[in-house]
Chains A and B, each alone.
Chain A
Amino acid sequence: QVQLQESGPGLVKPSETLSLTCTVSGGSLSPFYWSWVRQPPGKGLEWIGYIHYTGETNFNPSLKSRVTMSLDTSRNTFSMNLSSVTAADTAMYFCARERAFDSWGQGTRVTVAS
């Protein structure tokens, strides 16, 4: 059974770049899509974007100008960068498999504050 685990800093300063990594165990990155979803405190889910094992990416139009994603097949990880963060980017960030989100990480809480 595939397992996903997010990692990254819990606190990021405004205007800086948020970087998160998801480690995949129990399975390969191939041939799947790998997604990021976030959830602001007390609010609903928001799709951030996905990366295919081939490197193809697709991002939420509302975040597209600030998001990049990459993957490292040697480490079985994929990563996300979100630039120019503000308090509105404070959320729980989840990584998930596929565009249908059939497996999820437990999430990592990120706070944007000075």
Chain B
Amino acid sequence: QSVLTQPPSASGAPGQRVTIPCAGASSNLGGNYVYWYQQLPGRAPKLLIYQNNQRPSGVPDRFSGSKSGTSASLAVSGLRSEDEADYYCAAWDDSVRGPVFGGGTKLTVL
């Protein structure tokens, strides 16, 4: 059971926009930044979004993040086949006194 809650799967057709939600609590998303990671099949995770909505250099602007209260979401617009991956949200948790992850969402491009 992960501290942050994500749906196990999401899907969309090429070119469409998909949103992946992440639900938390006051001890994590409620007062701390959310981070998003993309894990391509057989690869290490990669930082996709940091501090709620910032993109590291090299991440396409098709990826965007937002946070409101104890919920956050990752949006992927203009879906491409190479976006098929597992996506994880994470945040610092004041109770755990460390980072916690969501269970991950497998994104399928139809």
Residues of A within 8 A of B (CB): 35, 37, 44-47, 49-50, 58-61, 94, 99-107
User: Chain B contact residues: over half helix, strand or loop, or mixed?
Assistant: strand
**Alpha-carbon gap, A105 to B43, bound state (A):** 10
**Alpha-carbon gap, A49 to B103, bound state (A):** 18
Closest to B95 in A: A61
Which residues of B83-107 have CB atoms within 8 Å of chain A's CB atoms? 88, 90, 92, 96-104
The answer on a CB contact under 8 Å between B101 and A46 is yes
The answer on a CB contact under 8 Å between B98 and A58 is yes
Residues of B within 8 A of A (CB): 2, 35, 37, 43-47, 50, 56, 88, 90, 92, 96-104
The answer on a CB contact under 8 Å between B104 and A44 is yes
By a CB distance below 8 angstroms, the chain A residues around B96 are: 60-61
Q: With A58-B98, A60-B96, A99-B99 in contact, do A105 and B44 touch (Cβ < 8 Å)?
A: yes
B26 CB to nearest A CB, Å: 19
